[in-house]
């Protein structure tokens, strides 16, 4: 059987698995606020059958998908709906590269290359932040690139870097910090390392590239593949030794678990089994009786937002279970769906209003909880969820690892 025929059979099997129940559309945050988007079922399995016959949807339909994975979380048949949509975009069905405007392509370069932006933004971070807050600059960015003038761009800080040596310590881990922690929140990355070291692990962070999620979301699929292959080459020797890989960003973790196995590269077949969300890893330590529990008592009460890409991993909310190990600590799961930013989705001028509508139920619950003193702070593992919630509510948002750092009494 030829490779093309095998691919056609595989795609047909995935399409036939769709039950037409429309549960994905009912739960889709974009379909709820954007009348141009018919829903994941129509844009995914239904449209794929048409695409196989050479009939394509309007490009705006595919571009409206935020890749939040809510449809795949909901699907009772485990159809990889967003994979079908992203594959259609990859093959150029969204609008051939010759048809894309210069403005579109420039924006895709800016938003897709989070890594390069980070390198530039951290050279003189205070100056970068000052310039990006100027109204005239934001207006010019909107006019020239289509990046919404009101979108909550992240601030830049000193780049995260470490020179840890694994040595002979048998307890070793590889830490994949991701672009946000590397360029926008290095202190959180350092907190992750300190907590892992406190639990007896040596931590190594090779010179990884961006996981590829921002690139895929901006139609730069070849660069996303190049990054994945580069990272897999770095992972391979450690994976062969059975050393686990840990990521503190849910989008990075999901990409390593679900996207990287698709590539033909050393390490691709091992990466899923050896990759862990940070708190998934710590919870597994607890189950084995290996997690240090020398926590200081705490009177903190926080609201918790679970990121969409954490839900897509099917591991529940391990951070909530772990925080309950700290005496006196209380966590309230907000359970209010997508925040609306979805990576770089709502940075785009045409998506900003929809993103704010998507996040409104979450924003309302956060504001209400703070006003009634149910909690004072919000926690979430996702960096972009962090900035979107702060933007929509004005409430401080932190990565949960900070409460473990404080609980352990680490500086």
Residue 159 lies in a domain: no
CA distances from 401 to 61, 163, 335 (A): 38, 21, 20
Q: Is residue 373 part of a domain?
A: yes
- Dihedral of the alpha carbons of 221, 244, 405, 338, in degrees to the nearest 10: 40
Query: Which residue do the tokens 């769709």 mark?
Result: 18
- Out of 59, 90, 121, a domain closes at 90
d(CA 15, CA 229): 29
Final residue in a domain of this structure, among 68, 90, 112: 90
The pair of three-digit structure tokens given for residue 183, joined into one six-digit string: 């360029």
Lowest mean pLDDT among 8-17, 20-29, 235-244: 8-17
Helix 135-145 and helix 125-132: axis angle, to 10°? 80
For the question of whether the overall pTM of this predicted structure is more than 0.75, the answer is yes
Pairing of strands 172-176, 202-204: parallel
- Quote the distance between the C-alpha of residue 237 and its chain's center: 26
Domain membership flag for residue 223: no
Condensed to tens digits (0 to 9), the pLDDT of residues 327-366 reads 999 999 999 999 999 989 999 999 999 999 999 999 999 9
Nearest-Å Rg of the Cα atoms of the chain is 21
Q: Which of 63, 90, 117 is the last residue of a domain?
A: 90
Q: Which pLDDT score is estimated for 105?
A: 84
Q: What is the DSSP string of 206-238?
A: --PPP-SHHHHHTT-HHHHHHHHHHHHHHHHHH
Tell me whether residue 382 is in a domain. yes
**Is 343 among the domain residues?**
yes
Q: Residue 338 sits in a domain of what CATH number?
A: 3.40.50
Task: Assign 57 a pLDDT band (cuts: 50, 70, 90).
Answer: confident
30: in domain: yes
Instruction: List Cβ neighbours of 9 (8 Å cut-off, separation of 6 or more).
Output: 1
Rounded to an integer, what is the distance from CA 393 to the centroid of its chain?
Answer: 21
In a domain, 179, yes or no: no
- Number of domain units in the chain: 2
154 in a domain, yes or no? no
Per-residue pLDDT tens digits for 246-287:
999 999 999 999 999 999 898 999 999 999 999 999 999 999
CATH number of the domain that residue 32 is part of? 1.10.1060.10
Supply the range of the domain harboring residue 29: 3-90
Lookup: tokens for 158: 């000193």
């Amino acid at each position: 059987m030829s490779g093309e025929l095998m691919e056609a059979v595989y795609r047909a099997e995935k399409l036939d698995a769709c039950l037409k129940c429309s549960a994905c559309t009912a739960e889709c945050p974009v379909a709820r606020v954007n009348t141009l988007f018919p829903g994941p079922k129509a844009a995914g399995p239904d449209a794929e059958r048409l695409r196989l016959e050479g009939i394509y949807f309007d490009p705006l339909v595919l571009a409206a998908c935020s890749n939040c994975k809510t449809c795949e979380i909901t699907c009772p048949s485990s159809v990889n709906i967003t994979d079908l949509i992203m594959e259609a975009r990859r093959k150029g069905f969204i609008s051939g590269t010759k048809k894309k405007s210069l403005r579109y392509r420039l924006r895709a370069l800016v938003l897709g290359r989070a890594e390069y932006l980070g390198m530039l933004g951290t050279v003189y971070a205070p100056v970068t932040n000052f310039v990006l807050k100027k109204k005239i600059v934001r207006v010019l960015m909107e006019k020239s690139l289509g990046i919404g003038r009101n979108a909550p761009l992240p601030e830049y800080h000193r780049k995260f870097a470490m020179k840890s040596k694994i040595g002979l310590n048998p307890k070793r881990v590889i830490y994949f910090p991701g672009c946000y922690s590397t360029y926008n929140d290095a202190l959180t990355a350092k907190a992750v390392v300190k907590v892992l070291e406190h639990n007896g692990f040596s931590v190594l962070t090779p010179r990884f590239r961006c996981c590829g999620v921002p690139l895929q979301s901006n139609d730069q699929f070849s660069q996303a593949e190049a990054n994945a292959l580069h990272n897999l080459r770095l992972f391979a020797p450690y994976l062969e030794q059975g050393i686990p890989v840990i990521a503190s960003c849910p989008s990075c973790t999901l990409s390593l678990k679900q996207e990287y196995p698709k590539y033909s590269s050393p390490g691709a077949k091992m990466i899923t089994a050896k990759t862990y969300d940070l708190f998934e890893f710590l919870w597994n330590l607890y189950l084995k009786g290996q997690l240090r529990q020398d926590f200081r008592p705490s009177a903190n009460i926080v609201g918790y937002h679970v990121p969409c890409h954490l839900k897509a991993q099917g591991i529940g909310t391990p951070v909530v279970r772990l925080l309950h190990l700290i005496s006196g600590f209380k966590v309230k799961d907000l359970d209010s769906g997508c925040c609306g930013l979805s990576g770089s989705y709502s940075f785009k001028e045409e998506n900003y209003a929809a993103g704010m509508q998507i996040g409104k139920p979450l924003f309302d619950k956060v504001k209400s909880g703070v006003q009634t003193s149910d909690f004072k702070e919000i926690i979430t593992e996702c960096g972009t969820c962090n900035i979107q919630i702060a933007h929509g509510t004005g409430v401080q948002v932190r990565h949960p690892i900070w409460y473990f750092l404080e609980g352990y009494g680490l500086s």
